[in-house]
Amino acid sequence: MMVAFTTRNSRGKENAKDFEILWVCADCGLVSLFHSDLEDHKQKMNHHNVAEIDLGSGKLVAQYTQKNTRQRADVKQRQ
């Protein structure tokens, strides 16, 4: 698995979660501090499986799938 780390905000606009969340592409391992860079990556690479990790606690907050659905990590899915 290749891991890249982005430290720039390509669109120049801050997201409310910038510097609080690590965005991790589950398809290739890209790690970004900026939501805008993640969105650019998703468009360019057609990767849509993303994990959202809280920088303060290191815990998984949510996962996003290709259908762009969000699954919170603290809520168990009904079977």
Number of domains in the chain: 1
Q: Which residues pair with 50 in a beta bridge?
A: 25, 64
CA-to-CA distance for 14 and 18, rounded, in angstroms?
6
Residue 34 lies in a domain: yes
Using one digit for the tens of pLDDT, what is the confidence trace for 12-23? 566 677 788 899
Per residue in 38-53, pLDDT tens?
889 999 999 989 999 9
Count the residues in the chain. Answer: 79
d(CA 27, CA 41): 11
Whether residue 79 is contained in a domain is answered as no
User: Can you give the residue range of the structural domain that contains 34?
Assistant: 5-72
Place of tokens 């890249």: 4
pTM over 0.85? The answer is no
